[in-house]
């Protein structure tokens, strides 16, 4: 308490929301670093503190019939009477 000894604060341990739950926190002397957001997530602050799912289905048509957004990715679904082919993209008759 007299300013003669300084001890690093472990922000990764002491601050519950230092980094986004999808990233890793690394404590450094006097600060901390967050790993990048994983693929399929946008790093809205550019520092790993806030990762938001990218809706791949909102842009270009990725699927021939219906695109379903999932956390970090997407899946394609076919209309009734069809199923996804081996490529996971093309719809083929059942």
What mean pLDDT do residues 69-78 have?
A: 91
Q: Give the pLDDT confidence of 34-73 residue by residue, as tens digits.
A: 999 999 999 999 999 999 999 999 977 778 788 999 999 9
pTM comes to: 0.73
What does the pLDDT read at residue 25?
Answer: 96
Q: What is the mean pLDDT of the chain?
A: 89
The residue ranking higher by pLDDT, 72 or 92, is 72
Helix/strand/coil (H/E/C) assignment for every residue in 41-75: EEECCCCCCCEEECCHHHCCCCCCCEEEEECCEEE
């Amino acid at each position: 308490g007299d300013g003669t000894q300084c001890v690093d604060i472990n922000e990764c341990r002491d601050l519950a929301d230092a980094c986004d739950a999808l990233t890793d926190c690394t404590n450094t002397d006097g600060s901390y670093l967050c790993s990048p957001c994983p693929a399929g997530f946008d790093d809205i602050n550019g520092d790993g503190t806030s990762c938001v799912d990218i809706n791949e289905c909102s842009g270009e048509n990725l699927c021939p019939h219906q695109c379903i957004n999932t956390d970090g990715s997407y899946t394609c679904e076919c209309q009734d009477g069809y199923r996804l082919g081996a490529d996971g993209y093309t719809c083929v008759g059942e």
